[in-house]
């Protein structure tokens, strides 16, 4: 079964998720700079979520580039990932509009955590299909980043109830770590 439509559908959903988030940036009634100020937390949340969706698109792109075929199980694992990513606009807006209070900041972490787990499940599904000697299996390797990120999100969810800004710092930090594209796959592909 070809992977073309899986990529096209995922691209479509990710493009909509990343663009729909901006609709939460409600146009203010005033026309001076001061009227933009209350939007700042929503805008910062938007930037963070834009980067996260960008990271997912980027890694998804790399992962499927190293994939040769997909099965029905992979299609559903992919839809499961898209489900959690589709909750980004909601989680982003709730956190931003409440100025990073405890519960919404923790809820944002829960969505990040579930998306990370869904991504990992999808990756495992593909590796099972492709075999342990496949390009993807070797490229992923020990997958330190993929294993530490969920732990970091768990930590951030706990921190949100102590001091929400600490949770935010963790989210930003994890995003920065992932911003480095998955060079493992890239270099493996070029080396093969």
Residues lying near its own copies in the complex (CB under 8 A): 1-2, 5, 7-9, 11-20, 22-25, 27-28, 31-33, 36, 47, 50, 54, 57-58, 61, 65, 71-73, 75-76, 79, 82-83, 86-87, 89-90, 93-94, 97-98, 101-104, 107, 179, 181-183, 186, 189
Alpha carbon separation from 177 to 54, 114, 153, 155, 173 (Å, rounded): 13, 18, 13, 16, 6
- Rounded distance between C-alpha atoms, residue 52 and residue 43, angstroms: 14
Q: Least distance to its own copies from the beta carbon of 137, Å?
A: 19
Q: Which is nearer to its own copies, 57 or 134 (CB)?
A: 57
| Residues of the chain by 3-state class (helix, strand, coil), percent to 5 | 80, 0, 20
> Which lies closer to its own copies via its Cβ, residue 119 or residue 151?
119
Residue in the structure block whose two tokens are 């930037």: 47
Q: Which is nearer to its own copies, 28 or 151 (CB)?
A: 28
Residue with tokens 């009634």, as numbered in its chain: 29
Angle, nearest 10°, between helix axes 72-86 and 40-65?
170
Least distance CB 178 / its own copies (angstroms): 11
Smaller CB separation from its own copies, 57 or 146: 57
Q: In whole angstroms, how close is the CB of 30 to its own copies at the nearest point?
A: 8
Least distance between its own copies and beta carbon 135 (Å): 13
**Is 72 or 132 the residue whose CB approaches its own copies more closely?**
72
Least separation in angstroms between residue 76's CB and its own copies is 7
Angle formed at CA 177 by CA 171 and CA 182, multiple of 5 degrees:
130
**Shortest distance, position 136 Cβ to its own copies, whole Å:** 15
Nearer to its own copies, 131 or 151 (CB): 131
In the DSSP assignment, the letter for residue 26 is P
């Amino acid at each position: 079964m070809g992977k073309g439509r899986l990529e096209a559908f995922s691209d479509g959903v990710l493009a909509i998720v990343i663009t729909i988030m901006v609709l939460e940036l409600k146009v203010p009634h005033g026309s001076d700079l001061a009227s933009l100020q209350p939007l700042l937390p929503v805008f910062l949340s938007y930037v963070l979520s834009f980067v996260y969706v960008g990271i997912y698109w980027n890694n998804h792109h790399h992962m499927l580039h190293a994939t040769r075929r997909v099965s029905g199980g992979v299609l559903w694992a992919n839809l499961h990932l898209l489900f959690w990513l589709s909750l980004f606009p909601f989680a982003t807006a709730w956190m931003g509009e409440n100025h990073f209070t405890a519960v919404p900041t923790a809820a944002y972490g829960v969505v990040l955590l579930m998306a990370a787990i869904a991504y990992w499940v999808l990756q495992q599904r593909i590796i099972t299909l492709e075999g342990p000697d496949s390009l993807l299996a070797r490229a992923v390797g020990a997958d330190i980043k993929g294993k530490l990120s969920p732990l970091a999100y768990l930590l951030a969810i706990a921190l949100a109830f102590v001091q929400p800004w600490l949770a935010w710092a963790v989210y930003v930090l994890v995003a920065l770590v992932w911003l480095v594209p998955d060079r493992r796959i890239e270099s493996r592909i070029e080396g093969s």
